[in-house]
């Protein structure tokens, strides 16, 4: 039986996944991290958990997080971020600018990439920077 929670793919396998596929996965990984942190830290009541999570996972919030992370990213991570940021998307939500949405897509691509590489320590380190 496959273990989908601790998956680890090779660089070639990850490269064969589209940037939007990585972003799709990275969005879920980041949201799970945010929800876990909110519950663990008691940052929101059950009623306000969704609203509190949205404050962190929205495109403007993710674009802001990239601003904090960018100087600390490796060349490889910056390359993945740019790959996701430069991906053509079909629409941009009204709640964000085009630049914020593209930057957020790059952010999610990076989180999906690191997750598939099994780089949970790096994900946690980046997450700590974001929430600090």
User: Known catalytic residues?
Assistant: 27
User: Cα–Cα distance between 121 and 37 in angstroms, integer?
Assistant: 15
Six token digits for residue 106: 């790059």
DSSP-assigned states of every residue in 4-20: SSS----HHHHHTS-HH
What are the DSSP E strand ranges found in the chain? none
């Amino acid at each position: 039986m496959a273990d989908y929670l601790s998956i680890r793919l090779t660089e070639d396998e990850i490269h064969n996944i589209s940037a939007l596929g990585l972003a799709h996965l990275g969005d879920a990984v980041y949201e799970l991290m945010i929800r876990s942190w909110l519950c663990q830290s008691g940052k929101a009541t059950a009623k306000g958990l969704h609203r509190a999570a949205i404050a962190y996972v929205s495109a403007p919030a993710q674009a802001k997080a990239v601003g904090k992370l960018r100087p600390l990213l490796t060349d490889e991570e910056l390359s993945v971020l740019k790959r996701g940021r430069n991906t053509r998307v079909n629409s941009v939500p009204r709640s964000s600018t085009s630049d914020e949405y593209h930057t957020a897509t790059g952010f999610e691509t990076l989180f999906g990439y690191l997750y598939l590489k099994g780089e949970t320590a790096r994900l946690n380190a980046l997450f700590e920077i974001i929430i600090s």
